[in-house]
Chain A
Amino acid sequence: MATASVTSSTAGRLLGTVRLPLSIFAFLALALGVLGIDQFVNAMTLGAIYALVALGYTMVYGIIELINFAHGDVFMVGSFVAMFISSSLLGNEGSITNVPLLGVSVLVLFALTIGVMALLGALIERLAYRPLRRAPKLAPLITAIGVSFILQNLIQFFFGPTIVTVPQLVPIEWSIQISGSRVPLLNLFVIASSVILMVALQLFISRTRTGRAMRTTSMDRDASSLMGVNINRTIMITFLIGSGLAGAAGVVHGLYYGNTNYSLGFQSGLKAFTAAVLGGIGNTAGAALGGFLIAFVEVGASAFGYGRWGGAVVFSLLVIFLVFRPTGLLGSHTGDRA
């Protein structure tokens, strides 16, 4: 009896740990089969961008339980900052075919945009949210909506209300053949850079001292400060990182689509928010997963000729999850707060 129960619980635990990777793998295989390689790569690319933005929503929610409605607009500003740095500062006009030069340009573009956006995020936190730390929860929520309007208006003021072109540094004609299909390197580049950033984030959160402070602060702020964690500093770093990732998303968005506009944050931001809820708001791995899932739903819808309904399907998912499973697929990390 005892042995049997031990074995079954070990098997259960083993099943528990492989279940998620297995389901992800099964899902991807299924999606690849149904969509074909072209659409599959499109979905992965779109998903990578949603995931980067969703991380910022989820990290901020995890640590201060604020749905930062301005985060989509931070991503939008990121796309403009990237455009500005790329075209005005670095003087890029189109693609760069010299590989070392392309590499350096892209790296500099990432570094500068991430840096500027991280600072902007920290500034927003300091000015708009920190003064309301002890106010009722509705107050920062309303402020977030205010920040969202301010960012949109600022961008309209400086760049106008129309679509703005962004230099596509990675030549779009570069591609590789995968089982008979032409897969643009640009897509692979977007996917790879997002994945690298997400892995780096996970390592940062799980391995570093500051990462541990972020985790304990999101579990229990008071207990965390009794350990000697500087709460204000930790929250500010969370905004720095979340906004930096939104900046990175802005860079890849521009490289991929070649344009941006001031209302980008509303559209894509809402989808990234849906992704965060889907994965379990407060849960970073969940946000990444949710981002890809939303993209597959959207791309799947258009692949079957329901492209116009993509948004409707995505937001129906949001409502369904909010009603029936508010903790999301992986479970909200704040849900089991003691």
Chain B
Amino acid sequence: MAPLLELKDVHTYYGAVHALRGVSLKVEEGEIVTLIGSNGAGKTTTLRTISGLERARSGSIKLKGKSIEAAEPHDIVRLGVGHSPEGRRVFSRMSVRENLEMGAFLRKSGPDVQKDFKKVFDLFPRLKERESQAAGTMSGGEQQMLAIGRALMAQPKILLLDEPSMGLAPILVEQIFDIITEINSRGTAVLLVEQNAMMALGIAKRGYILQIGEVTLEDSCAKLAKNPKVREAYLGV
């Protein structure tokens, strides 16, 4: 069976900047996969290319075997790709509830959507407390929760998470990672982009190391965590 998500030799450019130089990776149904790399390696570009926000100049991106590299971003959402972007990008002047409603933009409102509101509030009780607050006035951690919750409202088959730990206190990071595990255990595959390799390797099953637009290493997280090169470069030991 075709993997849930598969990138083959994807090249993406920003003008003359060759940001992705042949990225190949895959995510199977139900997996958490992490993509680790230092600042500027091309992690965000990889996720943006999957979502169609950037165009791959060559290579293929397949979702359950179906090519999506030429699809429009809104169609890619419809096909089941949820994306919590770098920097959270919540709609700051809208309330928490309106942000979540936007997450369900492509769905018909009804009991199913109401059920998902409840699910998201179960995962993130903080959001329930802040339901009518303007998203822009919340703390970084709360905005991160909202960004993830908003992506979940579309009922994605795969969730792309771009540095959910960025700028958060360690205790919050741990909370967010527990929730990512919880989301995954309910059946959503996760592609987790992180600079915080320690945490990411802790919850993911497999991982890819991205360096200057290229995947230089691919292994199970257990092995990556033991790899001396990885330990030196990303775990600071």
Contact = CB atoms under 8 A, between A and B. Distances in A.
Interface in A206-221: 209, 212-213, 215-216, 219-220
Nearest to B83: A226
Nearest to B150: A227
Contacts of B73: 225-226, 231
A220 B105 CA distance: 15
A338 B89 contact: yes
A228 B105 contact: yes
B136 interface: yes
Contacts of A227: 77, 102-103, 105-106, 150, 154
Q: Chain A interface residue count: which class?
A: 20 to 34
Contacts of B72: 225, 230
Contacts of A209: 105
A67 interface: no
A289 to B, nearest CB: 18
A244 B103 CA distance: 30
Contacts of A226: 51, 53, 73, 77, 83, 85, 89, 151
A176 interface: no
B166 interface: no
A223 B90 CA distance: 7
Interface residues of B, number: 27
A70 interface: no
A228 B91 CA distance: 14
A93 interface: no
* Chain B CB within 10 Å, residue with most, of A213, A223, A227, A336: A227
B102 A222 contact: no
A338 B105 contact: no
Interface in A181-235: 209, 212-213, 215-216, 219-220, 222-231
B74 A229 contact: yes
* Chain A CB within 10 Å, residue with most, of B72, B102, B103, B151: B102
Contact of B87 (A213, A215, A216, A338): A338
B12 to A, nearest CB: 14
A226 B94 CA distance: 16
A115 B45 CA distance: 42
Interface of A: 209, 212-213, 215-216, 219-220, 222-231, 333, 336, 338
Given A223-B91, A225-B52, 10 more contacts: A212-B98, A212-B105, A225-B72, A225-B73, A226-B77, A227-B150, A228-B74, A228-B106, A333-B93, A338-B90
7 contacts: A212-B101, A216-B94, A219-B93, A222-B89, A227-B77, A228-B154, A336-B136
CB-based closest 8 A-B pairs: A228-B106, A223-B89, A225-B73, A228-B77, A227-B105, A228-B74, A227-B102, A228-B105
